[in-house]
Amino acid sequence: MTRHRSPRSLRARAARPLALSPAPAVTPGPGRDASRAGSGPVVGSLCTGYGGLDLGVLAALGGGLITWVANSDRHIAQVLAARMPGVPNLGDLRDIDWVAVEPVDVVVAGWPCQDMPTNLRGRRTEAAIHRWETVLGRSTPHRTQPGNHGRLVLAPAFVEHLMGLLRRWVTDLPLPRTAQLRALGNGVIPHQATHAVSLLLDDLAELLDTDHQPATSRNAGAA
């Protein structure tokens, strides 16, 4: 049966602003421990990248525990070791013994995206950058930095800012500039992830509420 949203529900969703609350701190594993009861769902992360999607999901869920991640890129592994200390990195998905992996409540999968575009000019782009600067409450870093060949190149700190990450989340680590840009370009903006997952959770709550209403109540509401 096809479900139709009420006009009020659609208007409310259309008017809902992008949630920009700070992402929660990542709490490391190991797994389900009785001492951590009530601390939120246990999360496992595939193709984790720098953890942007995970931060967004935790914020949407109101907290939680990341018990393992999985990313085989050696540069990303350095980011995860620094930002999620104590969380095991299972590495290449093809080599994981899933029978031995700690069970989780939620699996987050951040499939690789397109690289960050380098054409960041134009009036609409400039306006968006200034709005983002206001939202984050901090100034935008320089877009370029001197390259090894003497010419200006795209600055990873600028891209990190556009992704809504804390300063030096990636750029504080001793990674090549190209590796930093690749990690950032393949990442997820935590604020957008929080907003998207929150909308999905709202959808689920609405569907569950509809399914549990008596037929007479649903008919009366439709009338």
Residue 89 DSSP class: B
Query: Quick one: pLDDT at residue 14?
Result: 43
Q: Give the whole-angstrom CA distance, residue 197 versus residue 191.
A: 10
User: How does the average pLDDT of the chain come out, rounded?
Assistant: 81
Same domain, yes or no: 23 and 106: yes
Query: Quick one: pLDDT at residue 45?
Result: 96
pLDDT of 128 strictly over 50: yes
Contact between residue 118 and residue 153 where contact means Cβ atoms under 8 Å apart: no
Same domain, yes or no: 194 and 165: no
Same domain, yes or no: 87 and 143: no
* Count of structural domains within the chain: 2
Q: Give the whole-angstrom CA distance, residue 138 versus residue 141.
A: 9
Measured CA to CA in angstroms, residue 103 lies from 40, 47, 61, 155 at distances of 14, 17, 18, 39
pLDDT tens per residue across span 170-218:
999 999 999 999 999 899 999 999 999 999 999 999 888 876 666 555 4
Query: Quick one: pLDDT at residue 112?
Result: 63
* Amino acid identity for residue 182 in this structure: R
Same domain, yes or no: 4 and 84: yes
Same domain, yes or no: 66 and 19: yes
Q: Is 146 exposed, middle or buried (0-12, 13-18, 19+ CB in 10 A)?
A: exposed
Contact between residue 183 and residue 75 where contact means Cβ atoms under 8 Å apart: yes
Model pTM score: 0.75
pLDDT tens per residue across span 136-171:
999 999 999 999 888 999 999 999 999 999 999 999
Q: How many CB atoms lie within 10 A of CB 119?
A: 6
Length of the chain: 223
Contact between residue 85 and residue 28 where contact means Cβ atoms under 8 Å apart: yes
Same domain, yes or no: 67 and 108: yes
151 contacts: CB under 8 Å, gap ≥ 6: none
Domain span including residue 205? 1-112+190-223
